[in-house]
């Protein structure tokens, strides 16, 4: 790959962001000349770690932030704090043969630590430069966009389902991206589509948001999820994987609208 790509998967809670993020990781790893992938689970629930088969204890960045805050309160030496970040960040990095993984987690520390948060964000940006692709599984809320945590994202995938609420979330995200003057391309992927909803198609057409893919229901995925299996246990001919493969081609080469 000639250039690095940072992809964020956003949308309302329950739309299927974690499944899409996990499927993107698997598809990217199976592509010819596969890319090095960094996965960031930005959802405090940390469901992506289970979908990717990471059952070992994963140190979250929330813990890193707490350690840094504890040191900042006692040492108050900016140079020492900055020097700790690289070490703690690498300690939180979980590496496998297929991908590297970072979990945001939650923090026990209260109050505003904006300079420290900015320093941590910049460290993640630097870490991402070591990978061809970075995938961010965003939290269900929109706070990360408000705080510009994803300011260096190249492409934002807004996942929607059949509900009007998911379209409403998409509209809010689009407005935030415009208000924050983000340079990221934004497109929609429609999830769990048994039959294409003409009403949704008409509304998307008037919103001028490009559709980058359609993912159908997959009973095997639901069965695997109930059994606690990972995305890597899904058969290669899974409708989800076949659909996400097409989405991946758009994300990694050219980004244009999928004709439905």
Task: Tell me the CATH number at 25.
Answer: 3.40.50.300
Does residue 260 lie in a domain region? no
- Residue 3: which pLDDT band, with cuts at 50, 70 and 90? very low
How confident is residue 52, by pLDDT bands cut at 50, 70 and 90? very high
Domain count, the chain: 1
> Quick check: is 208 in a domain?
yes
Would residue 258 count as lying in a domain?
Answer: no
Q: What does the alpha-carbon distance between residue 173 and residue 214 come to, in Å, rounded to a whole number?
A: 19
Nearest in space to 29 (alpha carbons), one of 21, 88, 50: 21
Q: Is residue 239 part of a domain?
A: yes
The CA-atom distances, in angstroms, between 121 and each of 53, 114, 139, 149, 240 are 26, 10, 16, 7, 32
- Please report whether residue 205 resides in a domain: yes
Residue 256 has pLDDT above 70, yes or no: no
- Give the model's pLDDT for residue 260: 42
**Is the predicted pLDDT of residue 131 greater than 80, yes or no?**
yes
Average pLDDT on 172-198 reads: 80
pTM: predicted TM-score of the whole model, two decimal places:
0.82
Residue 63 falls inside a structural domain: yes
Average pLDDT over residues 103-121: 58
């Amino acid at each position: 790959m000639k250039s690095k790509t940072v992809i964020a998967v956003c949308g309302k809670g329950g739309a299927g962001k974690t499944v899409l993020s996990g499927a993107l990781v698997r598809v990217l790893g199976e592509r010819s000349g596969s890319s090095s992938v960094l996965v960031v689970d930005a959802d405090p629930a940390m469901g992506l770690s289970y979908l990717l088969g990471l059952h070992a204890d994963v140190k979250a960045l929330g813990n890193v932030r707490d350690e840094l805050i504890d040191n900042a309160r006692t040492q108050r030496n900016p140079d020492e704090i900055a020097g700790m970040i690289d070490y703690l960040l690498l300690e939180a990095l979980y590496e496998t043969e297929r991908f590297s993984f970072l979990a945001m987690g939650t923090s026990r520390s209260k109050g505003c630590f904006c300079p420290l948060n900015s320093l941590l964000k910049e460290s993640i940006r630097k870490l991402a430069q070591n990978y061809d692709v970075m995938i961010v599984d965003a939290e269900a809320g929109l706070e990360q966009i408000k705080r510009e945590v994803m300011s260096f994202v190249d492409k934002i995938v807004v996942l929607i389902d059949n509900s009007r609420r998911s379209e409403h979330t998409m509209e809010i995200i689009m407005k935030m991206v415009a208000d924050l003057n983000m340079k990221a391309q934004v497109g929609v992927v429609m999830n769990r589509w048994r039959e294409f909803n003409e009403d949704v198609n008409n509304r998307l057409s008037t919103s001028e948001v490009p559709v980058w893919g359609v993912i159908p229901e997959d009973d095997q995925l639901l069965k695997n999820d109930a059994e606690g299996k990972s995305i890597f246990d899904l058969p290669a001919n899974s409708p989800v994987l076949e659909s996400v493969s097409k989405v991946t081609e758009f994300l990694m080469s050219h980004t244009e609208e999928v004709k439905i």
